[in-house]
Structure 1
Amino acid sequence: MSPGPGADSAPAPTATTFSSLRIRNYRLFATGQMVSNTGTWMQRIAQDWLVLSLTGSAAAVGITVAMQFLPMLLFGLYGGIVADRYPKRRILLATQTFMGLTGLALAALTLGGAVRVWHVYVLAFLLGLATVVDNPARQVFVTELVGREQLRNAVSLNAANFQTARLVGPAVAGVLISAVGSGWAFLLNGVSFAAPIAGLLLMRTAELHPVERAPRGKGQLREGLRYVAARPELLWPMVLVFFVGTFGFNFPIWLTAYVDDVFGGDAGLYGLLNSLLAVGSLAGALYAARRGVSLLRVTVGAALAFGLLEIAVALSPSLWLFAALLVPAGMAGVLFNVTANSNVQLRTEEAMRGRVMSLFMMVFMGGTPLGGPLVGWATDTYGARLGFVACGLVSALAAAGVGLMLARAGGVRIRLDLRPGGRYVRLVPREYAAAA
């Protein structure tokens, strides 16, 4: 039975910052993902810069991002059904192989001098198709690797892994693009998928934690939607994830526009700004791993802080202040993402987890085909600063609205405590708040 909407989870008693790494299968998984994620970030930076070089348009960068995430919007829930029905390890072997091949194809086109922007769009769409199945399977597979008690820690370490790669990948991509061109970054990304494939093959399957699998049957997609709709503790965080994911996480569009139009920089500066964003993101992920607890109010608070920090970044008058504020913005963004992810997983029954997490990833990533072109158009039309401010404002307002709805669903009210030494914001039962 899932916890009530107002219930906050208690910390796992055995969790420390790196406790999941004691498990051999998880170490193999994390090592493979580290290599692959580094290659993926190299490709993202090189791909954004390649599209900008071919077209000179921030909107074209937005379309590329949209094409990669459009399959998630169209088919995301079906990927969850596949993840609930079939062995996750086999699914991941297939998807990781296919994703590696898309990187090699883009490398061949670029190094051969034949690449056109429509090639990038098509390959981004094919990569997105693999992601439809890969994402929910990878999210749910973590439970099989570490068990429920270590799930929060493993989710946080996965985010730290991703952000470490985000720190290294853009820096390497910036050097490669400046020195030898984008094609070599695409090639290294394609080759990097050998690492997670090897890790999956080397795992001891007998040590995987058994999980309940959903049988084949009709109406499983509708069943997943009804399951989420009936649980405010799942529904409202996903609403917040949609708004923040659609409007708040469009950094490829903003950063390319700021580097090219506002600061007059090059690919090296673009890689540096992405790395600074990753520094904050890594700090946020490690903080979440050490904390070992996922509270709904932390998720909402992180989203609110993220939106406000985006506004501050957008209005920064100088490059150095802009760059410095990317660090806390990255920290707030990944803290929101990690706590939202672990909250949803831990409040979901095992047989439903693939469908629920596919819906989570669909609203988080699937909103990008809507937000990406819109944000790109606004950036081209009204300038980078105004587009960035507007998206930060949407994220902050969504956090405030969802926080009020969760408080109402949990039977509590938000009360300000302005006394010296007070907590400033307190959650109190409705009856107490009405009587006070």
Structure 2
Amino acid sequence: MKRDAQRRDERLLRTAFIISSTGDWVFRFALPVLVLQLTGSAVSTALTYAIEFVPFVVIGLFSGVVADRADRRQLMIACDVVSAAIVAGIGVLCLIDPPTVLVMAAAFLLGCVRPFSFPAFQGFITERVAEHRRASMNAWVQGADGTLGMLGPVAGVAVVTLLGPTAASFVNAASFAVSALLIAATAVVTVGRRLRASFGAACRSLVPDALAALRMVMTQSALLWATVLLTLANFTFPAAAANLVYIVAGPSGDVPASLAVIAAAQGLGAVLGAAASPVLLRRFSAGALMAAAMAVKVLALTLPALWPGIGALTVCWFVVGTTTSTFIVPWRTYRQGAVDPEFLGRVVGLQRAIPFAAVPVSSLLGSWLVVEFGVATLFTAIAVIQFFVWLGTRFSPLGRSGSSSVEVAGPSVIPVARPSRTGGN
């Protein structure tokens, strides 16, 4: 692609991300609040959060294969259109005082779309963003998400409190529709099969392609350690995040303003961390930054264990937002350079499927700890687990990643035939 076309597509991609993520932040509060209002149960609320991650485990590998074989532009448009329809359906359900099981089923269907959109988005970055701009692009994406994390909770709580979950659902549906239109405006580049053919090819080669991704991760030690440690890390902060609404609002489901403050603090931290990451990457290796982020996160999760309350939760969420950005930006930038773009979707799919398997379990364990033993016990447990995540990051090959020439994981380390982007095996 010509440079001007690349920059235009990059701008469209950024705008689509902003609009879609804005709707997501509003909706992120609508769904758990709706379930809490219907049931008054911490377990049901946490289950709603957890159930969206189940599809990542079930179809994560398959979706990564599709993202590698398909025209990623077509795939992202299809994901946004289907997501808009599902979220609009949730809005309709809100109008009829639905059974909780229907709301959870709709959340599950929405979760089935996201495993396709994320690896497609990551692969699309390698297609449309020049290599020397990828660290900045990753930092911008994380910073934009953090900015929305700062402003979105205010809008989300306002919409849910004043207008209810129904309005929040329709806002998110509209954001997906606009995102689809923006991605459709990017340049048409013939880089893969049509979407229907890609699904067929993925079905026929699912097992060998999944094994290829697994061999790639097993062969490169930094990728392997990242997969293991990210899985363990999902037993830490996600266990608290899944239960934040219950921790702050209680069984009644009455949403206080402090919920927006806590979530906004995480967004502010994410913005600052994302802004600092490209500068830090010029001075330190990716591994050193990731290890430092995991160490600081231990301290953040310890605060609510010692001083349970809104103030400690706000500081904790702020620091977690900062450290998440200073981990994610180096990690994604390293992975985009270390993995052959032809295989990136499969690796991303695998590295989401395995760690996300921990989220439903940690969410439910977190709700049990909060209800039975209190907030301090929950944060004590996850801080201890986070300490071991830091140890693993600091003293494993992941902590040394990016300190020397990057080993590219691709066809040379996979003893299987290289699949073409046109769908051949």
Whether these two folds match at TM > 0.5 is yes
Q: Which residue of 2 aligns with 1:51?
A: 35
Residue 323 in structure 1 maps to residue 314 in structure 2 = yes
Is contact 1:29–1:200 with CA below 8 Å preserved after alignment? yes
Q: Which residue of 1 aligns with 2:233?
A: 244
Deviations 1:206-231 (A, max 9, x none): 5x9x7999987561110110111011
Distance in 1, Cα, partners of 2:310 & 2:137:
35
Judged with a 3 Å threshold, the aligned counterparts in structure 2 of structure 1 residues 284 and 190 are, in CA distance, closer, same or farther, namely same
TM-fit CA distance, 1:265: 6.9
Q: Which residue of 2 aligns with 1:418?
A: none
Judged with a 3 Å threshold, the aligned counterparts in structure 2 of structure 1 residues 167 and 67 are, in CA distance, closer, same or farther, namely same
Residue 204 in structure 1 maps to residue 193 in structure 2 = no
Structure 1 residues 175-324: aligned runs within 5 Å:
175-205=158-188, 217=205, 219-261=208-250, 266-293=255-282, 295-324=286-315
SS at match of 2:180: helix
Provide runs of 4+ in structure 1 moved above 4 Å.
210-218, 261-265, 407-410
Q: Which residue of 2 aligns with 1:83?
A: 67
Residue 128 in structure 1 maps to residue 111 in structure 2 = yes
Is contact 1:63–1:373 with CA below 8 Å preserved after alignment? yes
Distance in 2, Cα, partners of 1:34 & 1:164:
10
Is contact 2:6–2:130 with CA below 8 Å preserved after alignment? no
Distance in 2, Cα, partners of 1:402 & 1:230:
18
Judged with a 3 Å threshold, the aligned counterparts in structure 2 of structure 1 residues 324 and 398 are, in CA distance, closer, same or farther, namely closer
Aligned pair partner of 1:105 in 84, 89, 97: 89
Q: Which residue of 2 aligns with 1:67?
A: 51
Residue identity in the other structure for 1:192: S
Residue 391 in structure 1 maps to residue 382 in structure 2 = yes
Residue identity in the other structure for 2:81: T
Residue identity in the other structure for 2:62: Y
Q: Which residue of 2 aligns with 1:429?
A: none
Deviations 1:187-217 (A, max 9, x none): 10111112211111111235x9x79999875
Judged with a 3 Å threshold, the aligned counterparts in structure 2 of structure 1 residues 23 and 71 are, in CA distance, closer, same or farther, namely same
TM-fit CA distance, 1:408: 9.6
Distance in 1, Cα, partners of 2:279 & 2:393:
26
TM-fit CA distance, 1:174: 0.9
Over the matched positions of the two proteins, sequence identity in percent amounts to 23
Q: Which residue of 2 aligns with 1:148?
A: 131
Residue 359 in structure 1 maps to residue 343 in structure 2 = no
TM-fit CA distance, 1:78: 0.9
SS at match of 1:250: helix
Is contact 1:39–1:188 with CA below 8 Å preserved after alignment? yes
Q: Could you list the runs of 5+ residues in structure 1 that have no partner in the other structure?
A: 1-19, 413-436
Judged with a 3 Å threshold, the aligned counterparts in structure 2 of structure 1 residues 368 and 408 are, in CA distance, closer, same or farther, namely closer
Distance in 2, Cα, partners of 1:193 & 1:297:
37
SS at match of 1:109: helix
TM-fit CA distance, 1:305: 1.4
Is contact 1:295–1:339 with CA below 8 Å preserved after alignment? yes
Q: Which residue of 2 aligns with 1:166?
A: 149
Distance in 1, Cα, partners of 2:77 & 2:290:
32
CA-based RMSD of the aligned residues comes to 2.9
Distance in 2, Cα, partners of 1:205 & 1:186:
31
Deviations 1:24-63 (A, max 9, x none): 1111111111111011111111111111222222221221
Distance in 2, Cα, partners of 1:37 & 1:251:
22
Residue identity in the other structure for 2:53: F
Distance in 1, Cα, partners of 2:103 & 2:326:
31
Q: Could you list the runs of 5+ residues in structure 2 that have no partner in the other structure?
A: 404-425
Is contact 1:212–1:350 with CA below 8 Å preserved after alignment? no
TM-fit CA distance, 1:269: 2.3
Judged with a 3 Å threshold, the aligned counterparts in structure 2 of structure 1 residues 66 and 258 are, in CA distance, closer, same or farther, namely closer
Is contact 1:305–1:396 with CA below 8 Å preserved after alignment? no
TM-fit CA distance, 1:86: 0.9
Q: Select between 165-174 and 137-146 the one with higher mean Cα deviation.
A: 165-174
Q: Which residue of 1 aligns with 2:420?
A: none
Deviations 1:411-433 (A, max 9, x none): x9xxxxxxxxxxxxxxxxxxxxx
Residue identity in the other structure for 1:197: A
Residue identity in the other structure for 1:83: A
SS at match of 2:307: coil
Residue identity in the other structure for 2:43: A
Distance in 1, Cα, partners of 2:137 & 2:346:
20
Distance in 1, Cα, partners of 2:165 & 2:305:
28
Is contact 1:136–1:361 with CA below 8 Å preserved after alignment? no
SS at match of 2:52: helix
Is contact 2:48–2:107 with CA below 8 Å preserved after alignment? yes
Distance in 2, Cα, partners of 1:116 & 1:263:
18
Residue identity in the other structure for 2:167: W
Q: Which residue of 2 aligns with 1:5?
A: none
Residue 343 in structure 1 maps to residue 334 in structure 2 = yes
Distance in 2, Cα, partners of 1:61 & 1:264:
10
TM-fit CA distance, 1:142: 0.9
TM (normalized to structure 2)? 0.84
TM-fit CA distance, 1:130: 0.5
Is contact 2:70–2:193 with CA below 8 Å preserved after alignment? no
Equivalent pairs counted in the alignment come to 390
Judged with a 3 Å threshold, the aligned counterparts in structure 2 of structure 1 residues 317 and 245 are, in CA distance, closer, same or farther, namely closer
Is contact 1:163–1:282 with CA below 8 Å preserved after alignment? yes
TM (normalized to structure 1)? 0.82
